Amino acid sequence: MPSTTEPKLISGNANRPLAQAVAKRMSMHRGSSVGLVDARVERFNDQEVFVEIYENVRGEDMFIIQPTSNPANDNLMELLIISDTLRRSSASRVTAVIPYFGYARQDRRTKARTPISAKLVANLIAQSGIERVLTMDLHAAQIQGFFDIPVDNLYASPIFALDVKHHFKDCLDEVMVISPDVGGVARARELAKRINAPLAIVDKRREKAGEVAEMTVIGNVEGKRCIIIDDICDTAGTLCKAAEVLMENGAQEVHSYITHGVMSGPAVERVSKSVMKSLVITDSIQPTDPVKNAPNIRIVPTAPMFAQAILNIWGGTSVSSLFDHDTLEPLYEGMYS
């Protein structure tokens, strides 16, 4: 049954521009002003997080927009403390909108005596009073099962499909989708199906974490406009090396579509100097000035999709409808027309 209250948004400090963009889109959809709840999320001198909300939220359906990106621990604590503040202020329901779920790469024990930190973070989120999570492109789909509360996992591939069809409309028959590793084949196949393109794989072998020893291309990429699809770009080492290997195997050009642009350390410099013609990321993580100013990095917005997903959750309607191209295209009308 739809809620009788209005959806209310509150943001931590992780990505306020995205939160403001979501509020703006929700205002457009509803025909009435939707703003961010007036609050302060600050640090004491010893860096403890302090939250104070200046508006009445009693009985309200609250949505906290807060990716747990770098600094992951600070942003995670902000999320938990905002949730605790809302629960103690008698909010009727608290939903965490986490565009980028930090610690997702620690989703299993890869060797003895290591943690499964993604499960620990899921427990912390549920215990803080959050009743539902809305996120995008979890590093591993099974992370949804780490939560004992409902999790809606949105996908960037429908947005990427719209972008590819717009920017490659004159040469779609030359496009080939590339998975940068065997584990990402399902994600790459999803985009390939949406744009009706063939699929190839770059198989990589690591000597140790962060270093790739060898790469092999599985498939014929000669003369193709290759599009690498992945969920996270951290230091961009693997991505740039994959682009080089594809060019060495006869690719005409290489582009990359990555959901979460972590872009740490030398990432921007590597991408700027690489053979990649373009890197497309979403704004799930607030881009830094170097990322925004890089000539071959482009950012696509997620606010239209998150705004509609929040409205669907609030209204008790389907979120999975946003996986469909026909549902999503009107939300991005004007951008890809």
301-328: b (≥16 Cβ within 10 Å) or e: bbbbbbbbbbbbbbeeeebeebeeeeeb
308 is in an annotated binding site: no
What is the distance between the alpha carbons of residues 89 and 59, in angstroms, rounded to a whole number?
9
87 is in an annotated binding site: no
181 is in an annotated binding site: yes
35 is in an annotated binding site: no
Q: Single out the residue of 154, 195, 139 nearest to residue 305, CA to CA.
A: 154
DSSP H helices in the chain: 16-30, 72-88, 117-127, 157-167, 185-195, 237-248, 267-273, 289-293, 303-315, 325-328
Active-site residue (options: 8, 204, 224, 241):
204
236 is in an annotated binding site: yes
Q: Going by DSSP bridges, is the β-strand pair 175-179/225-233 parallel, antiparallel, or unpaired? A: parallel
235 is in an annotated binding site: yes
What is the distance between the alpha carbons of residues 301 and 156, in angstroms, rounded to a whole number?
10
Calculate Rg over the CA atoms of the chain.
Answer: 20
52 is in an annotated binding site: no
61 is in an annotated binding site: no
Handedness of CA 258, 264, 266, 269 (dihedral sign): positive
47 is in an annotated binding site: yes
Q: Going by DSSP bridges, is the β-strand pair 199-208/175-179 parallel, antiparallel, or unpaired? A: parallel
231 is in an annotated binding site: no
166 is in an annotated binding site: no
Does the annotation mark 204 as catalytic?
yes
Residue 307 sits at the vertex; the CA angle it makes with 304 and 309, to the nearest 5 degrees, is: 105
230 is in an annotated binding site: yes
Contacts of 132 (CB under 8 A, 6+ apart): 93, 94, 95, 96, 149, 150, 151, 152, 313
Binding residues for ATP: 46-48, 105-106
Binding residues for D-ribose 5-phosphate: 206, 230, 234-238
Catalytic residues: 204
Binding residues: 46-48, 105-106, 139, 181, 206, 230, 234-238
Binding residues for Mg(2+): 139, 181
